[in-house]
Chains A and B, each alone.
Chain A
Amino acid sequence: MELVNPGFGLIFWMTLAFGAVFFILKKFAWPTIIQALKDREKHIEEALLAADRAHEEMKKLQIDNEALLKKAKEERDQLMMEARKLRDKMLDEARLKANDEADRIVENAKVRIENERKAAITDIKNQIAEISIDIAEMVLREKMKSSDAQKAYIEKLIDDKQLN
């Protein structure tokens, strides 16, 4: 019977004690703890989200970097190709120009050589003519040295005139 017959005093003290515990903890302990836990959970959640976001951004950045690198490479290749083309073109042009110049020089040379040759031939012709005239003069002088020859020749010329 003692076991199931609680004393009034104990009920009184228990109500007081538990009420006090409840009141004190409700006022000074639980709000702090609940709030602290909530804050920390929120903080952790935010931190995780931020980490995720950072990770995502990193990934994006990496992809961007790769794209950039690829683009740069392409551009470099393009530039190189263009440069090569330009070089080839310049070389070709230079070669062409050089050929032209060479041709022109050769042509000029040919023309000049031709002119020189012609001049030389003309010169030679003149000289040959002079020499021929000189020789003819000398031959005539030799032939007409005697008065008989002169007379014969004059008679002959007269003959020819008379005939005509």
Chain B
Amino acid sequence: MAIHKGIIRSRSISYIATILLIGFFAWSLNAHADEDLHTISEHTEHEMEKANLNAGEIIIGHIVDAYEWHIADYGHTHITVPLPVILYDEGEWHFFLSSKFHHGKSAYKGFEIAQEGMLKGKIVKRDAEGNFVQPIDLSLTKNSLAVIIYSTIVVLIFLGVAKAYRRRERKAPKGFQSIIEPLILFIRDEVALPTIGKKHYERFLPYLFTVFFFIFFNNLLGLIPIFPFGANVTGNLAVTGVLALFTFFITTFTGNKNYYAHIFNTPGVPWWLKIPLPLMPVIELVGVFTKPFVLMVRLFANITAGHIIILGFISLIFVFGQTSIYAGYGISILSILLSIFINFLELLVAFIQAYVFTLLSAIYLGMAVEEHH
């Protein structure tokens, strides 16, 4: 719950951008919602113990990656899509379906899903002392499958759009092309051009377009709560981390003399900050690594927080329903209204976070190719 509240609070700060857009009315509503959540969540913590329904566990369970794709529960039956597990352990490959674990309840071939500790939720093996050991795990998890599906969708969409451009040469955009075109122009004219500059911006356009639309579409598809959508892809550190690493590597490899001079021999700084103690170079070098780190964490936290809030509102219905069915129905009106509102907000956040990631990437790339002046 502490993390939960903390994320909500930090979320409120990042909402500022969106709040400016939707105006004062929405702001007051949002503050109101936060207040409600605080009082209710204190209330529910107490209720939960009694009712034996751990909303926190359920919410986190929906947020994190999994070896099976859970769709719904019906009575005591879990409706899930089992996914392939691919392990490499002690020189041996193991392939099997995640249904062999029976939703984490049993072990298979000595492998099991850790239920607690640092490796909770991961496939592990017990060594002689009974400690958990991780094999090399290339399993096609829920998020891996989702990334592949959503990537395919993105590729198909943009190959279609490219085809439309080829077919409708010099004509006004039509259909899906006209939805995409303003975004492309926005990224080109408002993000890439001002931050990278006229000389180099075209070189980085493909990467910036890819990053923007990849994040944007993954954010949007992650909001659709129906299989195969709704996986919290961009709210996963692995995904955001890989994206940030791409930006990091491109920045590092395209960095010119001027960029590295700035890091190791920062101009305009007194010499005693560089020799004998290389204070500035160390700070600059740390900055090189914090930039992608910040990219990774920002996207992850924003999208995860959005999902947590929506799931929190939905969970409230069942938490209250445990004590009294009428309380559950009663709170459902408020819960649904609030989660609809947050969903709308998330649509905005989906765009804003994709935009922010792209903008910051563009700024870092711009710094890497900036000419000496």
Residues of A in contact with B (beta carbons under 8 Å apart): 1-15, 17-18, 20-22, 24-26, 28-34, 36-37, 39-40, 43
Residue B242 is within 8 A (CB to CB) of chain A in the complex: yes
Residues of B contacting A7 with CB < 8 Å? 65, 122, 137, 139, 141, 238
Partner among A12, A13, A25, A39 whose Cβ is within 8 Å of the Cβ of B206: A25
Residues of A contacting B336 with CB < 8 Å? none
With A3-B304, A36-B165 already in contact, the answer to whether A21 and B238 are too (CB < 8 A) is no
Give chain B nearest CB distance to A74 CB in angstroms.
49
Residues of A contacting B65 with CB < 8 Å? 6-7, 10
Q: Which B residues from 146 to 174 make CB contacts under 8 A with A?
A: 147-148, 151, 154-155, 158-159, 161-162, 165-166, 169-171
Residue B144 is within 8 A (CB to CB) of chain A in the complex: yes
Residue B140 is within 8 A (CB to CB) of chain A in the complex: yes
Cα distance A31–B117 in the bound complex, in angstroms = 48
Q: Judging by beta carbons under 8 Å apart, are A9 and B159 in contact? A: no
Residues of A contacting B147 with CB < 8 Å? 10, 13-14, 17-18
Q: How many residues of B contact A (CB 8 A)?
A: 54
Residues of B contacting A36 with CB < 8 Å? 165-166, 169
Cα distance A28–B160 in the bound complex, in angstroms = 10
Cα distance A93–B147 in the bound complex, in angstroms = 110
Partner among B117, B137, B148 whose Cβ is within 8 Å of the Cβ of A17: B148
Cα distance A37–B120 in the bound complex, in angstroms = 49
Partner among A22, A33, A34, A43 whose Cβ is within 8 Å of the Cβ of B202: A34
Cα distance A142–B370 in the bound complex, in angstroms = 166
Residues of B contacting A14 with CB < 8 Å? 143-144, 147, 238-239, 242
Cα distance A10–B86 in the bound complex, in angstroms = 12
Residue B254 is within 8 A (CB to CB) of chain A in the complex: no
Residues of B contacting A26 with CB < 8 Å? 206-207, 210
Q: Which residue of A lies closest to B242 (CB)?
A: A14
Residues of B contacting A22 with CB < 8 Å? 206-207, 210, 246
Residues of B contacting A28 with CB < 8 Å? 159, 162
